[in-house]
Structure 1
Amino acid sequence: MLSKQDLKRAVPELHTDRLVLRRLTAEHVERWWECASDPQVLTYLYGTPEMKEYQVLQPDRLGRRVEEAFRSMSSIHFAIMSKDGESMYGVCSFQRWDEHAARAEIGFALCKTFWGKGYATEAVGSLISFGFEQMGLSHIVGRCHVKNDLSIRVLEKNGMRQQPPSNSGIKSYWQEMGIIVYSVAQSEFQLRKDRAALYASSREHGGDSVAP
């Protein structure tokens, strides 16, 4: 399995049918900033466009934050690119990577132009597979706003399930912000993968008794 030191030496490109995921660089950040400045994108990235955190994340500072995260290996950010590498659709990442606990949080955002085309589902699926199969993660968490229906569908299509809120009676920071939490375990991922392979094999041999 790839350790933090392995990935610090070289982050592999991840390929899907339509996309290539590459390590996010300063050049990508400049291109992404145009998308991230869209008010609708901002709403789901930071809660509201007026949030103080957004005000300080100008491209140069955002680029430094991405580089600092890479140096510490607390996060790994990818640019979501078209197969030919000409178009940038958005970003996705593993954040808060705890190598000892074998868990990380997945994040993603697309330029509004590319919403609803399945790119996020494809990118997140590739990242989840990479996390479980190459990074040795045992658990992946995802968060999104309760009103962000598109992101909710992306997480659910990739086998993630919403987690119940805390029963402490005290709302957490995330609950106050309207953020809901999804997660998937490696065992659930593997079961889903095995069922999909069995279904594909059944279809190939003319059967239809196995549900995907």
Structure 2
Amino acid sequence: MSEIIHAPELFSERLRFTDMTEDDADFVVSVRNDPEVYKFFISVHEITIEEHLNWFKNSYIYNSDRFDWIARNPEGERVGIFGVKRVSLEEKSAEISYILSSSFYKKGYASEAVKRLIHFCFDEWKCDKVIAEIHKNNDASLKLIERLNFSKSSSNGDFVIWELKR
């Protein structure tokens, strides 16, 4: 059996990022199944706890090229799920992803967390490029990515590929 891989603990000004665990399954599924969230996903459907745990146990915990964190605010509340995935070792690129719980919208947490993910990709994974794939109708994410100086790279159906180079 392969060795279980753990995401390193990260911190930003107000957030503590901890490795996603089985204990977070209810939170992950509830945030992922919010219709205001999953309408911007490639796969637009609700997931079950069983589907999430199957993915978690059979794919995620053995993948050294992907980390997902649960971010907590100073009060210890889980505000969202934030991740990085290596796209190419040769091109030194990684993709970021984020799902913010709708109860924490408009508090600056997404911006703070995405900045920390970018820092992780550039400084710890030594990437030269960070990618974000955003649904063309996800105005909040599009504004966030633009504010962080990402440039439009290409399109893939309803999704726009953005990149930030070191």
For the criterion TM > 0.5, the same-fold answer is: yes
Q: Does residue 118 of structure 2 align to residue 128 of structure 1? A: yes
Equivalent residue number for residue 160 of structure 2: 180
Range with bigger deviation, 37-46 or 91-100: 91-100
> Equivalent residues in 2 for 1:29-108 (5 A)?
29-46=25-42, 48-49=44-45, 54=46, 57-67=47-57, 68-84=59-75, 86-108=76-98
* Correspondences of 1:132-147 after superposition (within 5 Å): 132-147=122-137
Aligned equivalents of 1:78, 1:45: Cα separation in 2 = 18
Unaligned runs of 5+ residues in structure 2 are none
Q: Which string of whole-angstrom CA distances, capped at 9 and with x for unpartnered residues, describes residues 73-105 of structure 1?
A: 232111111134x21111011124433432111
Q: Which has the higher strand share?
A: 2
The residue aligned with 1:115 is 105
136-145 or 74-83, larger mean C-alpha shift: 74-83
> Comparing both structures, which one devotes a greater share of its residues to helix?
1
Q: Which runs of 4+ in 1 moved over 6 A?
A: none
Q: 2:150 aligns with which of 151, 160, 171?
A: 160
Compute the RMSD of aligned alpha carbons: 2.2
The structure with more radius of gyration: 1
Q: Secondary structure at the match of 2:60?
A: helix
* Contact 2:79/2:101, CA 8 A, preserved across alignment: yes
Q: TM-score, normalised by structure 2?
A: 0.86
Aligned-partner residue type, residue 83 of structure 2: S
Conserved 8 A contact 2:70-2:78: yes
1:91 maps to amino acid: I
The 1-side partners of 2:11 and 2:66 are apart by 20
Shift of 1:160: 1.1
The Cα offsets for residues 183-212 of structure 1, whole Å up to 9 and x where unpaired, read as 0112xxxxxxxxxxxxxxxxxxxxxxxxxx
SS of 1:12's equivalent in the other structure is coil
Query: What is the number of residues matched between the two proteins?
Result: 163
Gaps of 5+ in 1: 166-173, 187-212
Q: CA deviation at 1:23?
A: 1.2
